[in-house]
Amino acid sequence: YSPRQRLDVVVNILTNFAYHKGSIKVFGGEQLRPNLHIQDMTDLYVQLLDIPAQKINGKIFNAGYENQKVITLANTVQEVFDGDIGIEVEPTDDNRSYHISSEKIKNELGFVPQYTIKDAVLELKEAFDAGLLPNAMDDKRYFNIKTMLDIHLE
């Protein structure tokens, strides 16, 4: 795990709260979020090193596993925790959704993610169990905004 593990991205936020607080608060829940396991991302980086430049030069690719609603992500976290955590849904006026298609990278480069959202939740839970991410709720190094404020990068 990274010394600056990102605990401020949606799946990790939900897992962190489930583990340390025993509940998840979802604001809205219908918003879509694209997801990609970090192992798939790093595998793609390595794969790109072997692809001829003319196949990728000047092109833009999206790489993602699935676009899922935030409430669906929360339900996946709840499933990993054997249903032992609560999910509280609160209204929000922030209904931004992010949706990507990864068909181009699949068709042109053959990249298909191998790891699921559930895999990521399970691995993060195991890291918490092993004490690999101390002070996961409070340590600013896990949260970009907290780190930026701390170094006055406003």
DSSP characters over 74-96: HHHHHHHTTT-SEEEEE--S---
The conformational region for residue 116 under phi > 0 = left, psi -120 to 50 = alpha, else beta, is beta
Mean pLDDT to the nearest integer, 40-63: 96
> In the predicted model, is pLDDT for residue 153 greater than 90?
no
Rounded to 5°, angle at Cα 84 from 83 and 90: 80
> In the predicted model, is pLDDT for residue 138 greater than 70?
yes
CB count in 10 Å sphere of residue 45: 10
Mean pLDDT to the nearest integer, 17-26: 97
